[in-house]
Amino acid sequence: MVIVFFLLLALAVAAGLWLWQGHRGFADSPIGAPPEAAVEVARGDAFPTVLRKLREHGVTLGSDLQWRLLARETNTASQLKVGEYALEPTLTPRELLQRMREGRTLQYRITLVEGWNIRQLRAALRNATPLQQKTAQMSDAELMAALGHAGQHPEGRFLPETYVYSRSESDLDVLKRAYAAMEKALAAAWDARAQGIPLQSAEEALILASIIEKETGIAEERPAIAGVFARRLKIGMPLQTDPTVIYGIGSSYDGNIRRRDLTTDTPYNTYTRKGLTPTPIAMPGADALRAAVNPADGQALYFVAVGDGSGRHLFSATLAEHNAAVARYLVTRRETLRKAAAP
């Protein structure tokens, strides 16, 4: 009987080891899900529901008992986090459950581009998938109220950069983060402003930064352009910048700016009105914000594009120099267009 007892004990231990090794092998084996598969843990889902969803998404590895034991072992069953989880084929059950316990959900990205206006920003949000749409039917005023800033103009209020979101988030969530990011960037720029700049508030810095952003895509030119505008503001000279005129034209702008556009007065026409525009005209990036409050020194009051397609500008201190630069621009522009059209 003693011998039989020890034989049975040895068999039980061997069977237990076999089952344990099988469980460990299951826990650390690739789940083999189809490529680009993902599972969503919804609010209120218990682990059996999640397991059923895994099966529906092509996860055949292991028995239901093995999954439940592993979920208990990893303390996942009671700590499931809502969200969408990627099911990479090489992912193991242990790694997947750890992600579900820690809330490491599948992430998506949307990039807000420097110089976009509010119409372009809202169009990009409408086209972002799988971002939930809460603001698509809102007016700009309703949008700002939903963000907690009723009565504020939306232009330029969101920092252009790449934002990460999950399937459970909405366009309003992204806008809240972008608004907070702009507030932080603007405050940092204003705190680091140079002495004697012709700006009275961070709001004016935001407006000027938006104009600088639209005038050049060349980062190293921004302080020089800010310098031109700062000097004009100091002496009461109109800014005379085309992007503000274009913004005043609005959605009817067809890609061409005509002489009559420069003489038609709007709140945003800096040819007919002195000073800054009433609001920003686009989303300025952090570099444009810093340039607006730290303009380059110099004597230049004018600038014009080089005309060679580089996006660079020529800066002039006098109107005579500027007119000569404009003449060179026209020659260079015609030559550039001729070469582009040549077979």
From residue 173, give the alpha-carbon distance in Å to each of 117, 170, 276: 19, 5, 31
- pLDDT (tens digit, 9 = 90+) per residue, 82-133? 999 999 999 999 999 999 999 999 999 999 999 999 999 999 999 999 999 9
Instruction: Give the number of other CB atoms < 10 A from CB of residue 44.
Output: 8
- Residue 228, C-beta contacts closer than 8 angstroms, at least 6 positions apart: 300, 301, 302, 303, 315
Query: Taking a C-beta distance cutoff of 8 angstroms, is the pair 137, 154 a contact?
Result: no
- pLDDT (tens digit, 9 = 90+) per residue, 151-199? 999 999 999 999 999 988 999 999 999 999 999 999 999 999 999 999 9
Specify the pLDDT at position 3: 65
Predicted TM-score of the model (pTM): 0.84
What does DSSP say about strands 162-165 and 302-305: parallel, antiparallel, or unpaired? unpaired
| pLDDT reading at 293 higher than 50 | yes
Distance, CA of 15 to CA of 9 (rounded, Å): 10
What letter would DSSP give residue 77? Answer: T
Query: Taking a C-beta distance cutoff of 8 angstroms, is the pair 304, 322 a contact?
Result: yes
What letter would DSSP give residue 271? Answer: T
Distance, CA of 293 to CA of 212 (rounded, Å): 11
- The CA radius of gyration of the chain, in Å to the nearest whole number, is 31
- Residue 179, C-beta contacts closer than 8 angstroms, at least 6 positions apart: 147, 149, 157, 158
| pLDDT reading at 342 higher than 80 | no
Helix (H) or strand (E) holding 313: strand 313-316
Instruction: Give the number of other CB atoms < 10 A from CB of residue 173.
Output: 16
- Residue 43, C-beta contacts closer than 8 angstroms, at least 6 positions apart: 82
Determine the length of the chain.
343
| pLDDT reading at 300 higher than 90 | yes
